[in-house]
Structure formats: structure tokens, C-alpha cells
Amino acid sequence: MTPSSYFTALVAKSFGLDRRNKRLTDASQEMSILREAEYYLGISVWEDIDQVSELSVEYWSLRKHTKEIESLRERQIVLNQELSELYLQRNDILKQTSDEERALEEEKDQMMERLLNLTEERDEIVRQARDLRRAHEAILTKIEVLKDVPSSDDSISASREKEEELKSQFRELRKKRQDIANAIVSGDAEFDQHEAKLQKIKDAKKQQAAEIFHRISELNRELSSIRSSSGAIEVQIRQLLSEVGRYISRFDIKDPACAKVARKEKTMVAVMRMLRQSISMNHKLADFK
């Protein structure tokens, strides 16, 4: 609002055209613009206010908080770099397969195949032994029957020879079955040893990954603390900058030190002065105390 529009509105008000709500709305909008302008003016000039004694506290507080923010940001960069490297390390540890682990896996597969072959061979021997037992029982039955038949000595003799041959074959099968059983027991023990070695390697990888994850958790907690601290400091910095901009723009005419600081932003300061006048006139028109 300009002085001419103020007097026009003042005359209109004397005739009953109040428009109080509009005046308060305009004043509120202008106040928001003014607060933003004070903040941005503070950003522009705060490093030059060391000679303004009234702003000594704000100046040194800003120097302190700016240094704190820079330190926190540097620390944040270092932590983020370490965090990225740790994520890559953890993924590599979980995905990578060492030569020893690869060799053990191959040997494990080979042992599994051998054990399966031995199991199949054992089952085949059991089947053959079952067939021999049935053949043996048949021969014994035949001998029993032939004992009561006259002139059957030759047949009985041949049957007994066959019986002895079956017994010999059965003993050989039993020995093979025992050898295979021993080989299976030995193979199972060796397989378990390989499994234990593999599990030890995997557990070591998990332990490394767990240690890295623990460090990642620590870094994330520290980063969260840094973000919280930075946020609180930035709020204080914004308040201080607004106070600096407010003081410089109010006293640039009365205080030579302020005028010197405000010189590079004289256009902004002039606009801020007009905003304050407009806010004041709108408040007067709205009878705002």
C-alpha cells in the first residue's frame, strides 16, 4: 500500500467502506514477505556485520553455528562413504565363493554320487541274495522229496553239489554286502566332515557379514544423530539471520555501520522499508492494535 492509496482508503472508510478483513489479510501477506526478505538479507550481509556492535552476539553465534554445520557435514560425508563401502563389502562376502569352498562343494557332489551308487549296488546284492535263498530252499525241498524215491541217489548228489555252490555264492554276496556297508559308513563319515568344513566356512562368512552389519547400524545411528543436530542448528541459524536482516533493514538510515553493511542490498532494504509502511497503514485502517 502506498501513501496515496492509504489516504484514498482512509476517505472511503470515513464514508463507511471499512474492508477491515481485507486490510488484515493484506498486512498478513506483506508480513510473510517481509519475514522472508529479512532472512535472505541476513544471508547476504551477516559476514559483514562484525563492525555493528549491536549485532555482536548474533555475528559470533552465526560464526560458531556455521563452523558446527560444516564440521557435521564433513563428518556426514565420511560416514556416508564408509557406509557405501560396507554395503558393498557385505554383499561381496555373502555372494563370493572361495576356491576352498568351491572345491568342497564339488567333492561333496562326487561323494553324494558315490554313496548313491553304493546304495544301488547294495540293493542289487540284497535282491540277488534273496533269489539265492529261494533257490536254496527249493533244492532242500527237492532233496527231502528225493529221499523217499528209489534209485534217486544221483539226483540227490547233484542237488547237494548245487546246494554247496549256492552257499558259496551266498557267502560271496554277504562279503560284498558287508564291504559295501563299510564303504557307505566311511563315505557318510567323510561326507559329514565335508559338510562340517563347508558349514564352518559359511559361518565365518555370516560372522563377517554380521560384524559389518553391526558397524552399519552404528553408522546409521550416528548419521541420524548428525541430521538431528544439524536440523536444530539450522533452525537457530535461520532465527539469527532473520534477526540480522531485521536489524539492518530497520537501522540502515540511523546507524552508519548498518548503512555500510546494507549498501550492497539497498534495493531490498528500500522494498522492506515500504513493506513495513504498508503493513503499518493496513493495520491503522483495520484499527489493529
- Asked if the structure places residue 82 within a domain, the reply is yes
111 in any annotated domain: yes
Amino acid at position 179, single letter: D
User: Span 239-249, mean pLDDT?
Assistant: 94
Lowest mean pLDDT segment, chosen from 151-160, 170-179, 218-227: 151-160
Report yes or no on 168 lying in a domain.
yes
pLDDT value, residue 284: 79
Asked if the structure places residue 31 within a domain, the reply is no
26 part of a folded domain: no
**288 CA to centre of own chain:** 55
Count up the domains in the chain and report the number: 1
Residue 240 and residue 43 in contact, taking contact as beta carbons nearer than 8 Å: no
Is the Cβ–Cβ distance between 45 and 242 less than 8 Å?
no
- Nearest Cα to 198, choosing from 65, 269, 97? 97
Note down the domain range covering 239. 53-254
Q: Is the pLDDT of residue 286 over 60?
A: yes
Query: Is residue 117 classed exposed, middle or buried when 0-12, 13-18 and 19+ CB atoms within 10 A define those classes?
Result: exposed
- pLDDT tops 90 at residue 92: no
Q: Which of 224, 219, 223 is nearest to 89 (CA)?
A: 219
Of 1-15, 31-45, 51-65, 184-198, give the lowest mean pLDDT range: 1-15
| pTM, 2 dp | 0.62
Check if the beta carbon of residue 262 is closer than 8 Å to that of residue 252.
yes
In a domain, 234, yes or no: yes
Higher pLDDT, 233 or 190: 233
Angle of CA points 141, 147, 153, to nearest 5°: 110
- Check whether 11 has a pLDDT greater than 90: no
pLDDT per position as a tens digit, 96-119? 766 677 777 788 888 888 888 888
In a domain, 28, yes or no: no
Torsion of CA 101, 103, 108, 111, to 10 degrees: -160
What is the pLDDT, as a whole number, of residue 7?
Answer: 59
What are the helix (H) ranges across the chain? 3-14, 20-45, 56-95, 99-146, 153-251, 256-262, 266-285
According to DSSP, residue 149 is labeled S
Least confident of 8-17, 56-65, 217-226: 8-17
Q: What is the CATH number of the domain that holds 97?
A: 1.10.287
Over residues 44-85, the pLDDT tens digits come to: 999 999 889 999 999 999 999 999 999 999 999 999 999 999
Mean pLDDT (the chain) is 85
pLDDT at 2 over 70: no
Residue 241: HSE in the Cβ half-sphere, 13 Å Cα cutoff: 21
Question: Sorting pLDDT into bands at 50, 70 and 90, what band is 289?
Answer: very low
Q: Name which of 33-37, 148-152, 202-206, 272-276 the model is least confident about.
A: 148-152
Asked, for residue 281, whether it belongs to a domain, the answer is: no
